[in-house]
Amino acid sequence: MNDTAERKLILCHLWVAFAAFIVACFMGEYQVLERSGLLPALESPTVYFASVSTHGVLMAFVLTTFFIMGFGYALASSSLKQPIWNKPLAWGAFWLALVGVVLAAVPLLLGKASVLYTFYPPMVGHAAFYLGATLLVIGSWIWCAIMLVMFTQWKTANPTKNVPLAMFATAANALLWLWASAGVALEVLFQLIPLSLGWIDTIDPGLARTLFAWTLHPIVYFWLIPAYTAFYVFVPKQAGGFLFSDEMARMAFIVLAVFALPIGFHHLYMDPEQASGWKLLHGIGTFVVALPTLVTGFTVIASLEIAGRLRGGKGLFGWIGTLPWGNTMVLAVILSLLMLIFGGFGGIVNASYAMNAMVHNTAWVPGHFHLIFAGTTVIMYFAIAYYLWPLLLRKPLFSNQLALLQLWTWFIGMSILTTPWHVLGLLGQPRRISTVVYNNLLTLAWKPYELMMIFGGLILLGSACLLIYNLVKTQVTPYAGQFTDEIDYAEPIHKVGVLPEYLNGLTVWNKVIAVLMALSFGFPILQFFFMDTFGSSAWGN
Amino acid sequence: MQTEPTQSKNILLLREFVSYLRTLHIDTLEQKWIAIAMMIIAFLVGIITVDALFHGINPPSKVETIDSASVHLSKEFAEDNLGVQRDNSGKIIVRMVALRYSFIPKHLEVPAETPITFRWVSTDVLHGVNIPMTNMSTMIVPGYVAEVTTTFPKPGEYPLLCNEYCGLGHNHMWSTIAVIAKEEWVAKTTATPPALTK
């Protein structure tokens, strides 16, 4: 964020992210409408599944990856107070990833890759879809390398200082993503691309699912860590207080990065290709990773309480009212935490091993991840955008009032969308159906909830448009004044002494991850090469 | 040969780690919260583990392979064998084939309050199946036999739905299952064999 060139790099990343986001929002609303059967003219499984696949790719891969890259550059350059390392390489990564997105978008929009963003072999889409996704991931790997180089260079230059918390979190996320993406990379490079190009005739879907499960859990922490980073490094200051504990924040990021990785089998609980012992082991690990989230909840709420009391709040709950609710970052964190409480509860249900049978692949699951990702996580992306836009453009935000309205409507819309979605799951509705044609009385009970979802989706769509309007207006409105604001990091309430290496570096943790991954994925992957498996040939959609 | 020095080095490292841990500033309130959080997690993990290890409550996890391309030629899943059957020990086994876009057979009848073992195979892509309001749920991955044993407590007519995206006709993939009272089922099944006719 130190000069115009850097600000442009960051802004370009964030604009790609939000452009993908707004397109995907329109698709989301179309999908709830199509699925409800309210407008028979809309009904088309071809369009519906092309839309679902594109919506998933845009939200889960494009919005997240570009946002995380741009935000990472902003945090690294501002917290380390040094220029972004190798800017031409960073631009190269940007263009590579963007070309990848365009390459994947063509077959997606033409309905030639309606295999959903989770791939699902032996169904196979057009090869361009997988090649595009690969380029996007390679772009993100270059970003990881740049982050880790900047982290290491700064540490070497400042041996007696602690790495700033914002950079520590970003580097931990880069390490997490390098490990996380290895699973899907193996699946795409050795199974999906060769199969889609006809180089091989069959693949083992059991192995493919195991490799995808490797990625599927930590990827959600890759998306979540930027939100948690904002919780720790921006929120306390924006609320007018201090960070409750810098060390606990580091511990939380470490446990997130380490334990998010070896636990992916909770996505395979209902699968026949892995044995119950491994599933139980991963299930227990899944509960362990709830710990850093519980700690984060405590630290963030404690930081807010400090701020509320400094602002004159009295009594057990009096500090809540004195918080600056008109500050977008503070409002967003409150709404985000509210959604985290309910989403986290749902997550515990999903994680509960055999109990998963009751909700697996029902509408409960998309209800859950919309609440926790599109709710908890993405609302923080908005708050970060509102915070960074003025700093990147060197002019104030077009409208703070509109931004507050946008955050509230996003929260309300998400509650109205996801509550009936969860209920539908409990009423047995499967996910990923384009219309309800089951000739059964049970489906009558689904109707009112589907209608509620359309309403929730409409509010969300309006809210998303409001976000884009505000960001565009900020960019195009001329500003004559002198803009002097700089990025402002929260200070810990207790001064932090010199930290030991394990709280200031990632080398040790990288080794711990390697051991845990070998233990939890070694045998489950190798088994496919030792038992008699039968390949599946490719199927279109 | 190298083990002993490595071991003592590791112990040293561990000691160092613990002593660092002691110097960490963790607020007493936060310490209490961490203890509570850990107890909640231990409680939940405890329930799951005890249920899994001592009550046998596990998700369907029988790692058994089959050639999906020639399921119709296999003895077990030949057309005549599909549906509800009793094996030699009297166990009720339901064999079903999942393929785009139906489950075979289209209708089943099983008794309530009786353990029933379902065995599922796919002949093409990924499928999943669940019977709403029950815990009968499993993924059906081509190349593998998915086996799940459950008991239906309540009689009734249930749908049996594909719950994994398997192609554009995914939402047309379903069968029905009638769960009938145990006595009724016993009467029905024992009436047919010729040995019992007067």
**DSSP string covering B30-79:** HHHHHHHHHHHHHHHHHHHHHHHHHS----S----B--GGGGGGSSTTSG
Residues of A in contact with B174 (CB under 8 A): 438
Give the gap in angstroms from C-alpha A476 to the nearest C-alpha of chain B: 43
- Kindly state the percentage of chain A with pLDDT values over 70: 100
* Contact criterion met (CB < 8 Å) for A284 and B49: yes
Q: Which residue in B64, B135, B142 is closest to A122 by CB distance? A: B142
CA distance B143 to B136: 21
* Contact criterion met (CB < 8 Å) for B45 and A205: no
What is the pLDDT confidence band of residue A149, given thresholds at 50, 70 and 90? very high
Question: Which segment of A435-444, A528-537, B19-28, B136-145 scores lowest on mean pLDDT?
Answer: B19-28
pLDDT for A346-400, tens place per residue? 999 999 998 899 999 999 999 999 999 999 999 999 999 999 999 999 999 999 9
Residues of B in contact with A509 (CB under 8 A): none
Query: Taking 90 as the threshold, does the pLDDT of residue A84 lie above it?
Result: yes
* Contact criterion met (CB < 8 Å) for A272 and B135: no
pLDDT for A207-244, tens place per residue? 999 999 999 999 999 999 999 999 999 999 999 999 99
Give the gap in angstroms from C-alpha B191 to the nearest C-alpha of chain A: 30
Residues of B in contact with A361 (CB under 8 A): 128, 130, 137, 139, 163-164
Model pLDDT, residue A204: 94
Model pLDDT, residue B195: 47
* Contact criterion met (CB < 8 Å) for B146 and A437: no
Give the residue from A295, A361, A437, A502 with the most B CB atoms within 10 Å of its CB, the best one to mutate. Answer: A361
H or E segment and range at residue B146 = strand B146-151
Model pLDDT, residue A349: 93
Model pLDDT, residue B29: 87
Distances (CA, A) of A427 to A359, A422, A432, A442: 10, 9, 15, 8
Distances (CA, A) of A454 to A22, A28, A43, A437: 17, 10, 15, 19
pLDDT for B106-122, tens place per residue? 999 999 999 999 999 99
Residues of B in contact with A191 (CB under 8 A): none
- Kindly state the percentage of chain A with pLDDT values over 90: 86
Supply the angle between the helices A447-476 and A400-426 in degrees, to the nearest 10.
160
* Contact criterion met (CB < 8 Å) for B168 and A534: no
Query: Taking the CB of residue A341, how many other CB atoms lie within 10 A of it?
Result: 10
* Contact criterion met (CB < 8 Å) for A536 and B143: yes
* A422 belongs to the catalytic site: no
Residues of A in contact with B44 (CB under 8 A): 287, 348, 352
Give the residue from A273, A509, A525 with the most B CB atoms within 10 Å of its CB, the best one to mutate. Answer: A273
Arithmetic mean of pLDDT, A517-535 = 93
Query: Taking 60 as the threshold, does the pLDDT of residue B134 lie above it?
Result: yes
Shortest CA distance from A302: residue in chain B: B30
Model pLDDT, residue B3: 54
Residue with tokens 């220029």: A83
CA distance A45 to B169: 7
Sign of the CA dihedral running A354, A360, A362, A363: positive
In sequence order, what are the residues at sequence separation of 6 or more whose Cβ sits closer than 8 angstroms to the Cβ of residue A271? A206, A209, B61, B139, B141
What is the pLDDT confidence band of residue A320, given thresholds at 50, 70 and 90? very high
Query: Taking 90 as the threshold, does the pLDDT of residue B6 lie above it?
Result: no
Query: Taking the CB of residue A529, how many other CB atoms lie within 10 A of it?
Result: 9
Q: Which two tokens stand for residue A56?
A: 């998933």
Residue type, A427: L
Model pLDDT, residue B197: 40
Query: Taking 70 as the threshold, does the pLDDT of residue A404 lie above it?
Result: yes
Query: Taking 90 as the threshold, does the pLDDT of residue A147 lie above it?
Result: yes
* A266 belongs to the catalytic site: no
Region for B25 from its dihedrals, namely left if φ exceeds 0, alpha if ψ lies in -120 to 50, beta otherwise: beta
Model pLDDT, residue B192: 57
Q: Report the candidate in A33, A37, A94 with the shortest Cα–Cα distance to residue A68.
A: A94
Question: Which segment of A394-403, A411-420, B6-15, B41-50 scores lowest on mean pLDDT?
Answer: B6-15
Contact A370, A406 (CB under 8 A): no
Give the residue from A254, A266, A270, A426 with the most B CB atoms within 10 Å of its CB, the best one to mutate. Answer: A270
Q: Which two tokens stand for residue B5?
A: 């020095």
Residues of A in contact with B18 (CB under 8 A): none
Shortest CA distance from A119: residue in chain B: B165
Distances (CA, A) of A56 to A2, A21, A293, B65, B169: 34, 10, 25, 31, 20
Model pLDDT, residue B1: 46
Query: Taking 70 as the threshold, does the pLDDT of residue A145 lie above it?
Result: yes
Residues of A in contact with B27 (CB under 8 A): 244-245, 302
Q: Report the candidate in A141, A35, A166 with the shortest Cα–Cα distance to residue A434.
A: A35
ipTM exceeding the 0.95 mark: no
Give the residue from B66, B133, B163 with the most A CB atoms within 10 Å of its CB, the best one to mutate. Answer: B163
Give the gap in angstroms from C-alpha B156 to the nearest C-alpha of chain A: 12
Active site residue: A18, A370, A386, A387, which one? A370
CA distance A41 to A22: 24
Q: Which DSSP string corresponds to A349-383? A: HHHSGGGGGGTTTBTHHHHHHIIIIIIIIHHHHHH
pLDDT for B136-184, tens place per residue? 999 999 999 999 999 999 999 999 999 999 999 999 999 999 999 999 9
Does the domain formed by A4-478+487-533 have CATH 1.20.210.10?
yes
* Contact criterion met (CB < 8 Å) for A294 and B33: yes
Give the gap in angstroms from C-alpha B186 to the nearest C-alpha of chain A: 27
Arithmetic mean of pLDDT, A496-518 = 91
Active site residue: A18, A130, A242, A369, which one? A369
* A309 belongs to the catalytic site: no
Burial class (CB in 10 A: 0-12, 13-18, 19+), A309: middle
DSSP label of A506: S
Residues of A in contact with B37 (CB under 8 A): 290-291, 294-295, 298
Chain mean position to CA A510: 22
Q: Which two tokens stand for residue A39?
A: 């407008």
Model pLDDT, residue A40: 86
Return the CA Rg of chain A: 23
Contact A212, A192 (CB under 8 A): no
Q: Which residue in B29, B62, B171 is closest to A433 by CB distance? A: B171
Residues of A in contact with B176 (CB under 8 A): 440
CA distance A271 to A278: 12
- Kindly state the percentage of chain B with pLDDT values over 90: 63
* A250 belongs to the catalytic site: no
Residue with tokens 């290895």: A182
Claim: this prediction has a pTM higher than 0.90: yes
In sequence order, what are the residues at sequence separation of 6 or more whose Cβ sits closer than 8 angstroms to the Cβ of residue A528? A204, A206, A207, A210, A273
CA distance B121 to A83: 57
Query: Taking 50 as the threshold, does the pLDDT of residue A185 lie above it?
Result: yes
* Contact criterion met (CB < 8 Å) for A295 and B146: no
Q: Which two tokens stand for residue A225?
A: 């860590």
Contact A260, A254 (CB under 8 A): no
* Contact criterion met (CB < 8 Å) for A272 and B62: yes
**What's the mean pLDDT when you consider all of chain A?**
94
Helices within A352-476 (DSSP H only): 364-369, 378-393, 400-426, 447-476
Q: Is the peptide bond before A430 cis (omega within 30 degrees of 0)?
A: no
Query: Taking the CB of residue A162, how many other CB atoms lie within 10 A of it?
Result: 18
pLDDT for A16-58, tens place per residue? 999 999 999 999 999 999 998 888 888 899 999 999 999 999 9
* A353 belongs to the catalytic site: no
What is the pLDDT confidence band of residue B196, given thresholds at 50, 70 and 90? very low
H or E segment and range at residue B127 = strand B127-130
* Contact criterion met (CB < 8 Å) for B130 and A541: no
**What's the mean pLDDT when you consider all of chain B?**
88
* A217 belongs to the catalytic site: yes
* Contact criterion met (CB < 8 Å) for A122 and B30: no
What is the pLDDT confidence band of residue B89, given thresholds at 50, 70 and 90? confident
Supply the angle between the helices A400-426 and A328-351 in degrees, to the nearest 10.
10
Model pLDDT, residue B191: 65
Model pLDDT, residue A38: 87
Arithmetic mean of pLDDT, A478-503 = 89
Q: Report the candidate in A262, A335, A342, A267 with the shortest Cα–Cα distance to residue A300.
A: A335
Active site residue: A368, A381, A386, A521, which one? A368
H or E segment and range at residue A98 = helix A87-109
Q: Which two tokens stand for residue A329?
A: 């970052």
Residues of A in contact with B135 (CB under 8 A): 354, 357-358
Supply the angle between the helices A45-56 and A87-109 in degrees, to the nearest 10.
170
Query: Taking 90 as the threshold, does the pLDDT of residue A510 lie above it?
Result: yes
Active site residue: A35, A217, A250, A266, which one? A217
Question: Which segment of A254-268, A331-345, A418-432, A436-450 scores lowest on mean pLDDT?
Answer: A436-450
Query: Taking 70 as the threshold, does the pLDDT of residue B2 lie above it?
Result: no
Q: Which two tokens stand for residue A457?
A: 């989706």
* Contact criterion met (CB < 8 Å) for A533 and B24: no
A292-307 per-residue burial string, b: 16 or more CB within 10 A, e: under 16: bbbbbbbbbebbbbbb
- Torsion, Cα A93 A96 A101 A103, to 10 degrees, reads -170
Spell out the domains of chain B, with CATH numbers in brackets.
3-54 (no CATH), 68-192 (2.60.40.420)
Q: Which residue in A245, A248, A532 is closest to B65 by CB distance? A: A532
* Contact criterion met (CB < 8 Å) for B166 and A361: no
